[in-house]
């Protein structure tokens, strides 16, 4: 059974040209599905033995775990895609996932932090000294000052920073490049990190990533998430924080201060302005 999963994941990457992040998400979701199947049905040895009722039990199990509807929908989509592949390959004669319905995804408005909570979060790394704290202070400040996606921030390289012009060169989705301005306070934090933080994290002089982890390598998305999570806990914020929270806060606060919708769309890298308009519907009290 493991062999078919690996073949499917390889097909996603080589034939459908899915990104490594997307393939990793499929792998995680399907590994979870297999683990559940083998726990509930220890004698299961072939994909031909999986029935629609067995998959329905898995969906019901996820509902009991209080997963967000979007998470359940993604996991169900992964299972349906996998069994569709097995059917097309002739590995199974019937597709047991064909009649499984994906749950309706509730469209939720993004939840930005209040101005006060943002300030508390940005201040958290500055309470202690050290290279790591200088990195984290600059990192959080850039996220809020530019509205960049987490992947975009960790992908920044030294040559992407123009301190004199106070601009960042951001490589977004589908290869699009945006120039993002930042304020003087962000500039000062970047200078402090580059002069007194990054050199102490650097292990290889050839490393060009802007933000480094303790091993001197490019900071990962997971690493950034752990950093945000830790400081959010330390700051005792009133709302849960996700890697996208500062991006949401940037957009909501910019518009609340009278920012132009089209300009915010450009800064966020949204292809459709309707995506940006969501932020205009948020409560004025921030």
Q: Which whole-number Å values give the CA distances from 173 to 85, 219, 266, 269, in the listed order?
A: 27, 19, 13, 8
pLDDT band at 110 (very low <50, low <70, confident <90, very high): confident
pLDDT band at 108 (very low <50, low <70, confident <90, very high): low
Please identify every residue annotated as catalytic.
149, 173, 244, 247, 270, 279
What secondary structure letter does DSSP report for 164? T
Instruction: Specify the 3-state DSSP secondary structure of 260.
Output: coil
Question: Dihedrals φ, ψ of 177, to 5°?
Answer: -120, 130
Dihedral over Cα of 252, 253, 254, 255: its sign: positive
Candidate from 136-140, 157-161, 206-210, 262-266 with smallest mean pLDDT: 262-266
d(CA 203, CA 180): 29
For position 191, what pLDDT does the model report? 97
pLDDT digits (tens, 9 = 90+) for 231-243: 999 999 877 887 7
Residue 238, CB-side half-sphere exposure with 13 Å CA sphere: 10
Q: Which two tokens stand for residue 44?
A: 């299961």
pLDDT at 284 over 50: no
pLDDT band at 156 (very low <50, low <70, confident <90, very high): very high
Burial class (CB in 10 A: 0-12, 13-18, 19+), 168: buried
What is the rounded radius of gyration, in angstroms, for the C-alpha atoms of the chain?
Answer: 22
Write down all domains in the chain, each with its CATH number in brackets: 2-88 (1.10.150.130), 115-281 (1.10.443.10)
Question: Dihedrals φ, ψ of 31, to 5°?
Answer: -65, -40
Q: In this structure, are residues 261 and 280 in contact, taking their beta carbons and an 8 Å threshold?
A: yes
pLDDT band at 32 (very low <50, low <70, confident <90, very high): very high
Q: Which whole-number Å values give the CA distances from 26 to 41, 108, 221, in the listed order?
A: 22, 23, 17
For position 286, what pLDDT does the model report? 58
Q: Would you say the pTM of this structure is higher than 0.85?
A: no
What is the CA 190 to chain-centroid distance, rounded? 23
CB-based contacts of 248, cutoff 8 Å, min separation 6: 110, 111, 112, 279
pLDDT digits (tens, 9 = 90+) for 248-262: 999 999 998 888 899
Greatest C-alpha distance within the chain: 65
* pLDDT higher at 267 or 106: 267
Count how many residues are written for the chain.
286
pLDDT band at 207 (very low <50, low <70, confident <90, very high): very high
pLDDT band at 115 (very low <50, low <70, confident <90, very high): very high
Rounded to an integer, the average pLDDT of 272-277 is: 83
């Amino acid at each position: 059974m493991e062999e078919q999963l690996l073949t499917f994941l390889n097909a996603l990457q080589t034939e459908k040209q899915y990104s490594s992040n997307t393939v990793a998400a499929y792998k995680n979701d399907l590994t979870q599905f297999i683990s559940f199947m083998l726990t509930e049905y220890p004698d299961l040895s072939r994909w031909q033995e999986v029935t629609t009722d067995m998959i329905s039990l898995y969906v019901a199990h996820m509902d009991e775990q209080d997963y967000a509807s979007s998470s359940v929908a993604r996991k169900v989509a992964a299972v349906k895609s996998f069994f569709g592949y097995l059917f097309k390959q002739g590995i199974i004669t019937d597709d047991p996932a064909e009649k499984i319905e994906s749950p309706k995804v509730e469209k939720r408005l993004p939840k930005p932090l209040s101005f006060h909570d943002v300030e508390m979060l940005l201040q958290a790394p500055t309470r202690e000294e050290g290279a790591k704290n200088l990195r984290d202070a600059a990192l959080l400040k850039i996220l809020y000052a530019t509205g960049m996606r987490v992947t975009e921030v960790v992908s920044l390289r030294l040559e992407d920073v123009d301190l004199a012009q106070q601009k960042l060169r951001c490589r977004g989705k589908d290869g699009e490049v945006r120039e993002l301005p930042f304020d003087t306070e962000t500039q000062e934090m970047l200078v402090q990190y580059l002069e007194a933080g990054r050199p102490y994290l650097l292990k290889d002089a050839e490393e060009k990533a802007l933000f480094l982890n303790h091993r001197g390598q490019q900071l990962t998305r997971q690493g950034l998430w752990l950093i945000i999570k830790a400081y959010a806990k330390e700051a005792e914020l009133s709302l849960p924080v996700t890697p996208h929270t500062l991006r949401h806060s940037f957009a909501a606060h910019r518009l609340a201060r009278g920012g132009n919708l089209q300009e915010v769309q450009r800064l966020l890298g949204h292809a459709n302005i309707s995506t940006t308009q969501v932020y205009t519907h948020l409560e004025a009290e921030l």
